[in-house]
Amino acid sequence: MNIRKIAVLGSFAAGAALGLAPLASADPTDITSTVDSEIGSLNALFVTYADLAGDGSDVATHGANTFDTIPVADAPQTAPFTTLDYELYGVNPADAGPAGDPGSYNDFNGALTEFDNAYNVELYSLLNGGDIAPATDVFSHADFLNDGVTTAVSDYLQLGIGDLEGYFGIFPSEAATAAASLF
Protein backbone atom coordinates (compact mmCIF):
# COMPACT_ATOMS: atom_id res chain seq x y z
CA MET A 1 0.00 0.00 0.00
CA ASN A 2 2.78 2.47 0.83
CA ILE A 3 4.57 1.78 -2.42
CA ARG A 4 1.49 2.94 -4.34
CA LYS A 5 1.42 6.21 -2.41
CA ILE A 6 5.11 6.73 -3.11
CA ALA A 7 4.55 5.99 -6.82
CA VAL A 8 1.70 8.49 -7.02
CA LEU A 9 3.71 11.18 -5.23
CA GLY A 10 6.68 10.43 -7.45
CA SER A 11 4.60 10.86 -10.58
CA PHE A 12 3.31 14.22 -9.28
CA ALA A 13 6.87 15.32 -8.55
CA ALA A 14 8.04 14.25 -12.01
CA GLY A 15 5.10 16.04 -13.65
CA ALA A 16 5.79 19.21 -11.70
CA ALA A 17 9.47 19.06 -12.63
CA LEU A 18 8.64 18.70 -16.31
CA GLY A 19 5.91 21.34 -16.19
CA LEU A 20 8.01 23.93 -14.39
CA ALA A 21 11.30 23.23 -16.20
CA PRO A 22 10.86 26.17 -18.62
CA LEU A 23 10.73 28.53 -15.64
CA ALA A 24 14.08 27.29 -14.41
CA SER A 25 15.91 27.59 -17.72
CA ALA A 26 19.10 29.63 -17.98
CA ASP A 27 17.65 31.90 -20.67
CA PRO A 28 15.44 34.65 -19.27
CA THR A 29 11.78 34.37 -20.10
CA ASP A 30 10.68 37.31 -22.20
CA ILE A 31 7.48 39.20 -21.34
CA THR A 32 7.44 41.32 -24.50
CA SER A 33 4.08 39.92 -25.60
CA THR A 34 2.57 40.93 -22.24
CA VAL A 35 3.99 44.45 -22.53
CA ASP A 36 2.75 44.76 -26.12
CA SER A 37 -0.72 43.60 -25.05
CA GLU A 38 -0.80 46.21 -22.26
CA ILE A 39 0.14 48.96 -24.72
CA GLY A 40 -2.60 47.77 -27.06
CA SER A 41 -5.17 47.89 -24.26
CA LEU A 42 -4.08 51.38 -23.18
CA ASN A 43 -4.23 52.56 -26.80
CA ALA A 44 -7.73 51.11 -27.29
CA LEU A 45 -9.00 52.89 -24.16
CA PHE A 46 -7.32 56.13 -25.22
CA VAL A 47 -8.86 56.01 -28.70
CA THR A 48 -12.26 55.38 -27.09
CA TYR A 49 -11.79 58.45 -24.89
CA ALA A 50 -10.75 60.54 -27.90
CA ASP A 51 -13.71 59.31 -29.96
CA LEU A 52 -16.14 60.14 -27.16
CA ALA A 53 -14.61 63.62 -26.90
CA GLY A 54 -14.92 64.12 -30.67
CA ASP A 55 -11.14 64.13 -31.17
CA GLY A 56 -10.65 60.59 -32.49
CA SER A 57 -9.35 61.79 -35.84
CA ASP A 58 -6.52 63.67 -34.06
CA VAL A 59 -5.04 60.57 -32.42
CA ALA A 60 -1.52 59.92 -33.69
CA THR A 61 -0.45 56.31 -33.88
CA HIS A 62 3.30 55.72 -33.93
CA GLY A 63 3.48 52.12 -35.06
CA ALA A 64 3.06 48.74 -33.47
CA ASN A 65 3.60 48.44 -29.74
CA THR A 66 4.00 52.16 -29.11
CA PHE A 67 1.75 54.54 -27.25
CA ASP A 68 -0.80 56.62 -29.15
CA THR A 69 -0.73 60.39 -28.56
CA ILE A 70 -2.85 63.41 -29.34
CA PRO A 71 -1.95 67.09 -29.80
CA VAL A 72 -1.93 69.09 -26.57
CA ALA A 73 -4.62 71.36 -28.08
CA ASP A 74 -7.10 68.49 -27.66
CA ALA A 75 -6.15 67.97 -23.98
CA PRO A 76 -4.61 71.26 -22.79
CA GLN A 77 -2.69 71.64 -19.55
CA THR A 78 -4.64 74.73 -18.50
CA ALA A 79 -8.26 75.84 -18.42
CA PRO A 80 -10.52 75.73 -20.25
CA PHE A 81 -10.29 71.97 -20.02
CA THR A 82 -11.79 69.73 -22.69
CA THR A 83 -13.87 66.60 -22.41
CA LEU A 84 -10.73 64.59 -23.13
CA ASP A 85 -8.97 66.23 -20.16
CA TYR A 86 -11.74 65.06 -17.85
CA GLU A 87 -11.68 61.57 -19.36
CA LEU A 88 -7.91 61.25 -18.96
CA TYR A 89 -7.25 63.11 -15.70
CA GLY A 90 -10.52 62.83 -13.83
CA VAL A 91 -12.74 65.17 -11.90
CA ASN A 92 -10.20 67.97 -11.48
CA PRO A 93 -7.65 68.02 -14.29
CA ALA A 94 -5.92 71.15 -12.95
CA ASP A 95 -5.00 69.46 -9.65
CA ALA A 96 -4.39 66.05 -11.21
CA GLY A 97 -1.67 67.56 -13.38
CA PRO A 98 -2.33 67.21 -17.10
CA ALA A 99 0.62 66.14 -19.23
CA GLY A 100 2.30 68.33 -21.80
CA ASP A 101 2.33 65.34 -24.14
CA PRO A 102 -1.05 63.61 -23.71
CA GLY A 103 -1.17 59.99 -24.72
CA SER A 104 -2.48 56.57 -23.86
CA TYR A 105 -0.03 56.39 -20.94
CA ASN A 106 -2.24 59.03 -19.24
CA ASP A 107 -5.34 56.79 -19.00
CA PHE A 108 -6.83 57.19 -15.52
CA ASN A 109 -4.27 59.92 -14.81
CA GLY A 110 -1.45 57.46 -15.53
CA ALA A 111 -2.55 54.93 -12.89
CA LEU A 112 -2.98 52.09 -15.38
CA THR A 113 0.57 52.54 -16.63
CA GLU A 114 1.97 52.32 -13.09
CA PHE A 115 -0.13 49.25 -12.28
CA ASP A 116 1.15 47.65 -15.49
CA ASN A 117 4.71 48.48 -14.40
CA ALA A 118 4.18 46.74 -11.04
CA TYR A 119 2.70 43.72 -12.78
CA ASN A 120 5.54 43.56 -15.31
CA VAL A 121 8.25 43.69 -12.65
CA GLU A 122 6.59 40.98 -10.58
CA LEU A 123 5.81 38.77 -13.59
CA TYR A 124 9.37 39.00 -14.88
CA SER A 125 10.71 38.20 -11.42
CA LEU A 126 8.47 35.16 -11.04
CA LEU A 127 9.35 33.82 -14.47
CA ASN A 128 13.07 34.47 -14.11
CA GLY A 129 14.01 33.28 -10.65
CA GLY A 130 13.74 36.59 -8.85
CA ASP A 131 15.64 38.67 -11.40
CA ILE A 132 14.65 42.28 -11.85
CA ALA A 133 12.89 43.21 -15.09
CA PRO A 134 14.83 45.08 -17.76
CA ALA A 135 13.98 48.74 -18.25
CA THR A 136 12.36 47.90 -21.60
CA ASP A 137 9.57 46.10 -19.75
CA VAL A 138 8.40 49.14 -17.78
CA PHE A 139 6.87 52.35 -19.08
CA SER A 140 8.20 54.90 -16.59
CA HIS A 141 10.48 55.37 -13.59
CA ALA A 142 13.03 52.78 -14.68
CA ASP A 143 15.22 54.00 -11.80
CA PHE A 144 12.91 52.06 -9.46
CA LEU A 145 14.42 48.87 -10.87
CA ASN A 146 17.71 49.66 -9.10
CA ASP A 147 16.09 48.99 -5.72
CA GLY A 148 15.07 45.37 -6.26
CA VAL A 149 11.84 43.62 -7.10
CA THR A 150 9.88 44.15 -3.89
CA THR A 151 10.70 47.83 -3.61
CA ALA A 152 10.07 48.47 -7.31
CA VAL A 153 6.66 46.77 -7.20
CA SER A 154 5.75 48.70 -4.05
CA ASP A 155 6.88 52.01 -5.56
CA TYR A 156 4.91 51.42 -8.78
CA LEU A 157 1.79 50.48 -6.83
CA GLN A 158 2.10 53.59 -4.65
CA LEU A 159 2.43 55.79 -7.73
CA GLY A 160 -0.57 54.07 -9.30
CA ILE A 161 -2.70 54.58 -6.21
CA GLY A 162 -1.62 58.22 -6.05
CA ASP A 163 -2.52 58.72 -9.71
CA LEU A 164 -5.88 57.04 -9.16
CA GLU A 165 -6.58 59.25 -6.15
CA GLY A 166 -5.78 62.27 -8.32
CA TYR A 167 -8.19 60.97 -10.96
CA PHE A 168 -10.99 60.87 -8.39
CA GLY A 169 -9.99 64.23 -6.88
CA ILE A 170 -8.69 62.82 -3.61
CA PHE A 171 -5.90 65.13 -2.52
CA PRO A 172 -4.50 65.37 1.01
CA SER A 173 -5.19 68.59 2.82
CA GLU A 174 -2.22 70.89 3.51
CA ALA A 175 -2.43 70.06 7.23
CA ALA A 176 -2.31 66.31 6.56
CA THR A 177 0.66 66.77 4.22
CA ALA A 178 2.50 68.89 6.77
CA ALA A 179 1.80 66.37 9.55
CA ALA A 180 2.97 63.47 7.39
CA SER A 181 6.25 65.26 6.66
CA LEU A 182 7.03 65.30 10.40
CA PHE A 183 7.36 61.51 10.49
Q: What is the pLDDT of residues 12-71, one digit of tens each?
A: 555 555 455 555 555 678 999 999 999 999 999 999 999 999 999 999 998 889 999 999
Calculate mean pLDDT across residues 120-130: 96
Q: Which residue has the higher pLDDT, 97 or 179?
A: 97
What integer pLDDT is reported at residue 15 of this predicted model? 56
The band of 1, judged by pLDDT with boundaries at 50, 70 and 90, is low
In the prediction, which pLDDT does 171 show? Answer: 84
Tell me the average pLDDT across 136-155.
96
Over the chain, what is the mean pLDDT? 87
Q: What is the pLDDT of residue 179?
A: 47
Residue 60, strand partner residues: 69
Q: What is the mean pLDDT of residues 131-158?
A: 96
Which one is predicted more confidently, 16 or 126? 126
User: 65-95 pLDDT, tens per residue?
Assistant: 999 999 999 999 999 999 999 999 999 999 9
pTM: 0.80
Pick the closest to residue 39 from 54, 61, 55 (CA basis): 61
The answer, yes or no, to whether residue 126 has pLDDT greater than 50, is yes
What is the model's pLDDT at position 63? 85
pLDDT at 168: 96
SS3 98: coil
